[in-house]
Amino acid sequence: MVPTVPPPSRPVHPSRPADPVRRWYEHELGWAAADGTPVQLLTGLRFDVLELPADAGHAVLGRLSPQCPVALQGPVMRLLVATGSAEELPGLLDWLEWGALARDLTAIGAGGRIDAPTPPGWRGSPGAARWLRPPESGCAAEPALPALASLGGGGGAPALDLVRLVDAAATECHRARLRRLSAQALAFS
């Protein structure tokens, strides 16, 4: 009789080390992470990302649903939005008449990746991405993410739709750029 060995509870990929950050994203949130170090999250599968300068992003935070995940890495803020939103950004900017004026507002969608922020309550290395508003463990990200059609948010409050978010973000990116240019002009005076 050949002894049987029970299968492992979770498959282990031989080339993938047991990284606790990767494990948290893959098992707690169900988000895909790319192989390699540092851990990077794949965009376009569960969420897309709007990237903007942190100074502009802080001005937008108050307009977002508290359930909308937001990350910060150095001078860049990342707002998680519904999958497919990255494809819509150029057309939305043109439709909102921001066009080339909102060049500081970019999107990462299908085939992209971002550095995985340190999970909430964990100690990260200096300069690492971190959550300002972390995703909730055990729940899918999509229901709380801004999309083209306004989705219902928690507590009966409607979530911010993508059109309003892009308009607010483009406005704040433009204001932040003007402030920076004004500060540079004063420094040279």
pLDDT tens digits, one per residue of 116-167? 999 998 888 888 999 999 997 655 545 567 887 643 444 444 446 899 999 9
Alpha carbons 145 and 155: distance in angstroms, whole number: 15
Short-list 107, 116, 109, 108, CA closest to 35 = 116
pLDDT tens digits, one per residue of 44-57? 999 999 999 999 99
User: Is 105 part of a structural domain of the chain?
Assistant: yes
User: Is 8 part of a structural domain of the chain?
Assistant: no
User: Is 89 part of a structural domain of the chain?
Assistant: yes
Count of domains observed in the chain: 1
Short-list 47, 57, 162, 161, CA closest to 105 = 57
**Which amino acid is located at 38 in the chain?**
P
User: Is 15 part of a structural domain of the chain?
Assistant: no
User: Is 4 part of a structural domain of the chain?
Assistant: no
Average pLDDT for the chain: 83
pLDDT grade for 100, boundaries at 50, 70 and 90: confident
User: Is 72 part of a structural domain of the chain?
Assistant: yes
Domain that holds residue 165: 21-146+159-188
Indicate the pTM of the whole model: 0.80
User: Is 2 part of a structural domain of the chain?
Assistant: no
Neighbours of 139 (CB within 10 A): 13
